[in-house]
Amino acid sequence: MSLSCHGALQELRADVDLSVALAGNPNVGKSCIFNHLTGMGVATANYPGKTVEVQLAVTRLGDRKIGIIDLPGTYALGGVSEDQWVARKALLDGSPDAVILVLDATNLARNLYLGLQILDLGVPLVVALNIVDQAEARGIRVDADRLGEILGCPVVPTVATRGIGLDAVMEVVVRRNAHPAPLRARNRYSEDVEAAVGKLERPLAARTDRPHRLPPRAVAMLLLEEDPEFLDWLAAAPDSDALCRLRDELALALRDLRGEEPALLLSRERHGLAGLIASEVEHRERRNPILADRLWRFTTAPLTGLPILALVLAGIFTFLFVVGDWLSTGFSAFWTAYASPVIRWPFVTLLGDNALSRTLLWGFDAGINAALAVGIPYILTFYFLLAFLEDSGYLNAIAFLTDRLMHKMGLHGRAAIPLVAGAGCNVPAIMGTRVLGTMRERIIASTLVVLTPCSARTAVILGAVSLTAGWRWALVIYAVTAVMAVLTGVGMHHFMPGRGTGLVMEMFPFRRPGLGPIIQKTWYRFREFVVVATPIILGGSIVLGGLYETGLLWWFAIPLRPIMEGWLGLPAVAGLTLIVAVLRKELALQLLVTLAIAQYGLQAKNLLTFMRPDQIVVYALVNTLYVPCVATISILARELGWRRALLISAFTVLLALLVGGAARALFTIFGF
């Protein structure tokens, strides 16, 4: 459920005893902590014009009702990218009673910058010092008590993947809220910076109209940093002429004294202070590299990493082929034997055996069966494997390893993660492109996601090509699709205005994933798929059933003949399924058999009775390349706008027809 972010935050604050924001970089275990605290019962909220989501949830500790605001993972609170802008706005607009900052104990200096920014805002802070087990294994021991003394806030060691220390973090937050310690402004920076902040802070203390009711010191620092929101407030505030002149004078004095803009100066001093704090509280021992670090080197070096990546991908798809096909066949048999008769009985009893009841059963029987027969064996299975790769840290290795290839397509290595996720379902994968910094990158990545064969299209390839033409031709379809995706990405990068950005990410070590968090994450993603896709599949199935039962479906075959029979060399009945499969892509094969039986008789249960193997390959290739389903189109429209969604859809249809026609011509020339 997507909500107006500001309104949702205000509703959350009004409905709970205590509101807590969860902050940290994208890969430090913040999501694992959020899942542990909330049990995944979340709503999502977006600021107008921004697609990065803030997750909201409510949990209980004893008799207290606590609202959790999961800020987007980010390294800072500037406005450079969408995730930074949204994290900052949610923190200011939500006015949480406390912030839990998740720090990486293995890379403290890099993570402390965000903590210093939050402290400068004057928000009560509790630090969850995470991954302490990984730090100790590398000979890094962080003095949590000393770190708390320096920062002026509680620091609790945690291991999020095993739930260690997380309850203690919440107990500290509640205790701190019940007995709040007075916030003391600390002189953290150089004398000239602190002097300028102090001079601006004094007149601000007398004003009651400070934005977001921030402390005077926080507003003074933001004004010196030339924060646009606070400069606009100052310009519009009544009786602010003297304050404007003072701010300008202090900024000019700092610029003359230090030789750089105050915003850059403060950023540099925060980074320097973060390094000094880390060096004081960290104690390092020289140790031999642990197994996780050695594995990281092997998986990120091109000579060894690329073969390992090929083996991992082959293992994933082999697992999906074998286990997914077995589960899908078993589930369909179970549904036909037990669920279908129960579902059919009330429709046939109340409405009779007529076109209306059969149309409804296309949705409530065959539609739900098809959605679950693909969703459980393929999508749920893939999400489990994806969560395992994610929590183990291997997805970061993939991002690092593929960065050079992604740059040729105007992207960077982090785009590889939604592309891998697209093999499960394109819908959440397109939502995952929000991690990219620019709209240009998101358009390119979303187009490539659409060209990634999802599990529904994989089911068609397995059920049609592998069983009739052989598994080698199934691999050919995947190879052709991959080549088309790369050429598309390179072409879009060349012709679209703008340029790609570089990859800036931490190299996180491998770690042993916990089964509980993997199951939680898998279930949440699968539930999101079910919520988004099921209504569309159900509605599409009923529409499709109505067209079939009334005979209107056959009318579409007439205008399709020049393209299907003339260009692609396919029977017109196959063209019908390619058109209506946009409603339910995973039913393309089932619908093909159904329509073929209606036209050719029961012997058409075997595809080879009315299609040659080369025709089946062309059919599956076209089905794989063109825009997958209406659920994907609707998500594209929500994320990128309807104009871009329709352009991407039209491009994939044209590409599928061109590639399909070329494949038919090659089969004709060289034979099958």
Average pLDDT score over residue span 22-49: 68
563 vs 413, higher pLDDT: 563
Predicted confidence at residue 598, as pLDDT, reads 60
Q: 189-239, pLDDT tens digit by residue?
A: 888 889 999 999 999 988 888 888 899 999 999 999 888 889 889 888 888
Per-residue pLDDT band for 501 (boundaries 50, 70, 90) equals low
Percent of the chain whose predicted confidence (pLDDT) is above 70: 86
Per-residue pLDDT at 1: 42
Tell me, yes or no, whether 297 lies in a domain. no
Measured CA angle at 521 (ends 515, 525), to 5 deg: 145
**3-state DSSP call for residue 78?**
coil
Same domain, residue pair 168 and 271: no
Q: List 99's β-bridge partners, or say none.
A: 21, 125
Positive or negative, the CA dihedral 647, 653, 656, 657 is negative
Q: Which residues pair with 100 in a beta bridge?
A: 22, 126
Q: What's the confidence (pLDDT) of residue 2?
A: 47
Report residue 450's pLDDT band, with 50, 70 and 90 as the boundaries. Answer: very high
- pLDDT score of 596: 66
CA gap 249, 255 in Å, rounded: 10
- Given this model, what pLDDT does residue 4 score? 59
Residue 110 resides in a domain:
yes
In this prediction, residues 75-92 reach a mean pLDDT of 78
More confident residue, 535 or 243: 243
Percent of the chain at pLDDT above 90? 18
* Average pLDDT of the chain, as a whole number: 81
Residue 260 in domain: yes
Does 155 map to a domain?
yes
For residues 535 and 618, state if they share a domain.
yes
Residue 604 CB coordination number (10 Å): 20
pLDDT-based confidence at 184, cuts 50/70/90? Answer: low
The answer to whether 278 and 108 are in contact (CB under 8 A) is yes
Q: Say how far apart CA 480 and CA 476 lie, in whole Å.
A: 6
**DSSP letter string over 124-139?**
-EEEEEE-HHHHHHTT
- Domain shared by 649 and 563, yes or no: yes
Q: How far apart are CA 665 and CA 672, in angstroms?
A: 11
The answer to whether residue 483 scores a pLDDT higher than 70 is yes
On whether both 350 and 373 belong to a single domain, the answer is: yes
> Taking a C-beta distance cutoff of 8 angstroms, is the pair 124, 101 a contact?
no
pLDDT of 482 higher than 60: yes
Average pLDDT estimate for 276-296? 82
Contact status, residue 24 vs residue 102, Cβ threshold 8 Å: yes
Domain boundary among 124, 154, 178: 178
Alpha helices in 16-102 (DSSP H): 30-38, 82-94
Structure tokens at 516: 């509980």
Q: Assess whether 174 and 204 both reside in one domain.
A: no
Query: Within a 10 A sphere around the Cβ of 180, how many other Cβ atoms?
Result: 11
Residue 264 placed within a domain: yes
Distance CA 115, CA 130 (A): 14
Q: How far apart are CA 262 and CA 222, in angstroms?
A: 10
* 482-502 as b/e: b if 16+ CB within 10 A: eebbeebbeebbeeeeeebbe
Neighbours of 247 (CB within 10 A): 24
Distance CA 592, CA 618 (A): 14
Q: What is the mean pLDDT of residues 159-188?
A: 77
Instruction: Give the pLDDT mean for 62-88.
Output: 79
Q: Which amino acid is at 275?
A: G
316 and 383 part of one domain: yes
- 357-363 long-range Cβ contacts below 8 angstroms, 24+ apart: 358/545, 358/549, 359/542, 359/545, 359/546, 359/549, 360/542, 360/545, 361/545, 362/541, 362/542, 362/544, 362/545, 362/546, 362/548, 362/549, 363/538, 363/539, 363/541, 363/542, 363/545
Q: Are residues 356 and 320 in the same domain?
A: yes
pLDDT over 80 (residue 621): yes
Q: DSSP letter string over 203-220?
A: HHHT-S--GGG--HHHHH
Pick from 171-180, 365-374, 603-612 the range whose average pLDDT is largest: 171-180
Q: Does 549 fall in a domain?
A: yes
The better pLDDT of the pair 595, 431 is held by 431
270 plus 307 within the same structural domain: no
Helices (H), 470-604: 471-495, 515-549, 557-561, 572-580, 588-600
Q: What is the per-residue pLDDT for 650?
A: 93
The CATH number that applies at residue 196 is 1.10.287.1770
- Name the residue with higher pLDDT: 403 or 41: 403
> For strand 54-61 and strand 64-70, is the pairing parallel, antiparallel, or unpaired?
antiparallel
Q: Does 132 score more than 70 pLDDT?
A: yes
The CATH number covering residue 51 comes to 3.40.50.300
Give residue 42's pLDDT.
Answer: 55
**Residue 557, CB half-sphere, CA atoms under 13 Å: how many?**
18
Angle at 565 between CA 562 and CA 571, to 5 degrees: 135
Strands 125-130 and 98-104: parallel
- My answer on whether 222 and 160 are in the same domain is no
pLDDT higher than threshold 70 for residue 183: no
The 3 state secondary structure assigned to 150-161 is HHCCCEEECEHH
Last residue of a domain, one of 231, 251, 284: 284
**HSE-up of residue 296 (Cα within 13 Å, Cβ side):** 16
Residue 48: which domain range?
A: 2-178
Q: For residue 554, tell me if it sits in a domain.
A: yes
pLDDT at 591: 67
Residue that is written with structure tokens 């039986």 in the block? 597
**Same domain (yes/no): 174, 198:** no
Residue 60 host element (H or E) = strand 54-61
**Residue pair 539/582 in contact by the 8 Å Cβ criterion:** no
Range in 298-312, 441-455, 522-536 the model is least confident about: 522-536
Q: Which of 79-88, 127-136, 172-181 has the highest mean pLDDT?
A: 127-136
Q: Average the pLDDT over each of 315-324, 484-493, 564-573, 589-598 and give the range with the smallest value.
A: 589-598
What pLDDT, on a 0 to 100 scale, did the predictor assign at position 80? 59
Residues 490, 620 share a domain: yes
* Cα-Cα-Cα-Cα dihedral sign, residues 276, 282, 288, 294: negative
Could you say which DSSP state residue 512 is in?
-
List, in sequence order, every residue forming a beta bridge with 70; answer none if it has no partner. 22, 55
In terms of C-beta density within 10 A (0-12 exposed, 13-18 middle, 19 or more buried), how is residue 88 classed? buried
Mean pLDDT of 54-81: 80
Cα–Cα distance measured from residue 296 to residue 281, given in angstroms and rounded to the nearest whole number:
27
Say whether pLDDT at 144 is over 60.
Answer: yes
Domain tally, the chain: 3
> 49 vs 484, which has greater pLDDT?
484
**Backbone region of residue 317 per phi and psi (left: phi > 0; alpha: psi in -120 to 50; beta: other values):** alpha
More confident residue, 65 or 551: 65
When pLDDT is averaged across residues 450-469 and rounded to a whole number, the result is 80
Q: 475: exposed, middle or buried (C-beta count within 10 Å: 0-12, 13-18, 19+)?
A: middle
Claim to verify: residue 78 and residue 195 sit in the same structural domain: no
Give the chain's end-to-end CA distance (angstroms, integer): 50
Class of residue 322 by CB neighbours under 10 A (exposed 0-12, middle 13-18, buried 19+)? exposed
- 283-292, 470-479, 646-655: the lowest-pLDDT one: 283-292
- Would residue 516 count as lying in a domain? no
pLDDT tens digits for range 570-615: 887 777 777 777 766 666 766 676 666 666 655 655 677 778 888 8
Domain end call among 119, 144, 178 = 178
Task: Provide the pLDDT for residue 41.
Answer: 52
Listed residue (466, 135, 481) closest to 292, CA to CA: 135
Report d(CA 46, CA 187) in Å as an integer: 36
Per-residue pLDDT for 331 more than 60?
yes
CB under 8 A, 24+ apart: contacts of 59-62: 61/170, 61/171, 61/174, 62/174
* Closest by Cα among 24, 27, 34 to 521: 34
